[in-house]
Amino acid sequence: MRTLSTTLALLGGLLLSVSPAHARFWDVPDDHMYGEAIDYLMSEGIVRGYPDRSFRADLPVSRAEFTKIVVGSLFSPLVIESCVENLSGNKEALDVIRFEDVSYLDWYGPYLCTAILAEILSGYPDGTFKPEDGVNFAEAAKILANAYGILNPERHNIRTQQEIWYKPYVEDLQDFNAIPPTIRGFEYPITRGEMAEMIFRLANAHIGQTLNSRRTLTYPDLAETIPRTPYISKDYGFALSYPKNWHAPYFQKRGIAQDGVPVVRSDWRIYFGYTDEQCLGHGDCQERNFYLDGYSRMNLDQLITDFYNESGITVLEDILEDTFWTLVYEDASQGCSSKRALVIASKYVYRLTGLCVTNNATESIQFDQLLRSFSLIEKTR
């Protein structure tokens, strides 16, 4: 495990130097959060990556790819390759696996054949499979729970009484600590990296001590009963969403303090939360529950120095992705325990704060949901 000082040293060089390459994929650094899972799939012969020796962990995975990799992790090549051939002349079985948009001569055909006959997945009511579409997390949870036989009988006996069809499958994955921390919601497409991590955790569920140390999300973490409103800033290159019942965000231009205080003041701040107070961040006013600060990359060294010198900080997550690095931590340096996330990208540094939320379960989840909704966007002309 990296020490805090090592983490900060690495943060200082993020996107300014080339990270050590994964032994098999040049775009998977040695310390990629899903590197071990990707390595496992590669060593087991389940994935081969792209012709340019990349894995592309942040790309959404298609239904065809997901089917191939799940089936490949469970069945021998002989069983898979002989599936379609063995059905020759069996009209009833052929009708079961027939889809309007699928040719079993395609590269994924034998894998889909195996998955259908093993009752791992099914197509859509209109008779299609939609092989090129992405797989959202709710769909992935059902497929994986069926594939790995982790269905909780008691839970699924009452499934027909539940309004939310995917809830028991998500809870099945939750039982095995198999929901990666970057999953953003039930309807969001999963990435190739998240797919690798879920399969790795399920395939190695017997290694309890190892997997219990890996952070997992739960159904309540992902459940969202309140509609969300998007907030998109093309000028500052990011987007996120917040609960629709919150007041409109309040944007404040700030700039770097010139009074000799060593702590770098953000260039701008956006307040989110329940109150409608337009707080300027100082004086007698009530700050909102959550806010996002933005900094120029030229302030990164000072930010890291201040972070390192601050007491009362506990790192919770260290997430390295292709285009940015996220460091999630608890900060007890200001009289209460807050949750913060430092997101370092190529042009800007962002810091999301949940003020004094650590000991409030509801607000802690709201912080996590804000963070999961955060994404980088390119500025358009």
Q: Given pLDDT bands bounded at 50, 70 and 90, which one contains residue 160? A: low
164: left (phi over 0), alpha (psi -120 to 50) or beta: beta
Q: Is the pLDDT of residue 6 over 70?
A: no
- Classify residue 260: in a domain, yes or no: yes
**250 and 216 part of one domain:** no
Q: Judging by beta carbons within 10 Å of its beta carbon (0-12, 13-18, 19+), is residue 262 exposed, middle or buried?
A: exposed
What is residue 91's predicted lDDT score, i.e. its pLDDT?
65
**251 and 178 part of one domain:** no
Other C-beta atoms closer than 10 Å to the C-beta of 38 total: 24
What is the per-residue pLDDT across 314-349, written as a single tens digit (0 to 9) for each?
888 777 766 678 888 998 877 789 999 999 988 899
**156 and 211 part of one domain:** yes
Which is higher by pLDDT, 220 or 201? Answer: 201
Which of residues 191, 206, 222 is at a domain's end? 222
Residue 289, domain extent: 228-376
Helices (H), the chain: 4-12, 35-43, 63-72, 77-81, 83-86, 91-96, 109-117, 137-147, 153-157, 167-175, 192-203, 208-212, 219-222, 300-309, 361-373
Q: Is the pLDDT of residue 73 over 90?
A: yes
**314 and 198 part of one domain:** no
Please count the structural domains in the chain: 2
- pTM of the predicted structure, to 2 decimals: 0.62
Which is higher by pLDDT, 269 or 221? Answer: 269
Q: What three-state secondary structure class fits 229?
A: strand
User: Contact at 8 Å (CB) between 170 and 219?
Assistant: yes
What is residue 281's predicted lDDT score, i.e. its pLDDT?
43
**172 and 277 part of one domain:** no
Q: What three-state secondary structure class fits 8?
A: helix
Average pLDDT over residues 242-264: 69
DSSP secondary structure letters along 130-146: -TTSB-BHHHHHHHHHH
**43 and 136 part of one domain:** yes
Q: Is the pLDDT of residue 276 over 60?
A: no
**186 and 302 part of one domain:** no
**92 and 154 part of one domain:** yes
The single-letter code of the amino acid at 56 is R
Q: Is the pLDDT of residue 365 over 90?
A: no
Highest mean pLDDT among 8-22, 239-253, 309-323, 336-350: 336-350
Rounded CA-CA distance 191/68 in Å is 15
Q: Judging by beta carbons within 10 Å of its beta carbon (0-12, 13-18, 19+), is residue 360 exposed, middle or buried?
A: middle
Q: How high is the mean pLDDT of the chain?
A: 80
Shortest CA distance to 266 belongs to which of 233, 247, 291, 285?
Answer: 291
What is the per-residue pLDDT across 89-102, written as a single tens digit (0 to 9) for each?
666 666 667 888 88
**310 and 361 part of one domain:** yes
Which is higher by pLDDT, 58 or 19? Answer: 58
**143 and 291 part of one domain:** no
Which of residues 170, 204, 222 is at a domain's end? 222
What is residue 195's predicted lDDT score, i.e. its pLDDT?
96
Average pLDDT over residues 179-194: 87
Average pLDDT over residues 166-191: 89
What is residue 31's predicted lDDT score, i.e. its pLDDT?
75
The domain spanning residue 354 has which CATH number? 3.40.1000.10
Percent of the chain scoring above 90 in pLDDT: 29
User: Contact at 8 Å (CB) between 238 and 350?
Assistant: yes
Which of residues 163, 193, 222 is at a domain's end? 222
Q: For 53-67, 113-127, 294-308, which range has the lowest pLDDT when averaged over its residues?
A: 294-308
- Classify residue 249: in a domain, yes or no: yes
**141 and 261 part of one domain:** no
- Classify residue 5: in a domain, yes or no: no
**236 and 212 part of one domain:** no
Q: Is the pLDDT of residue 277 over 90?
A: no
Q: Given pLDDT bands bounded at 50, 70 and 90, which one contains residue 76? A: very high
What is residue 275's predicted lDDT score, i.e. its pLDDT?
57
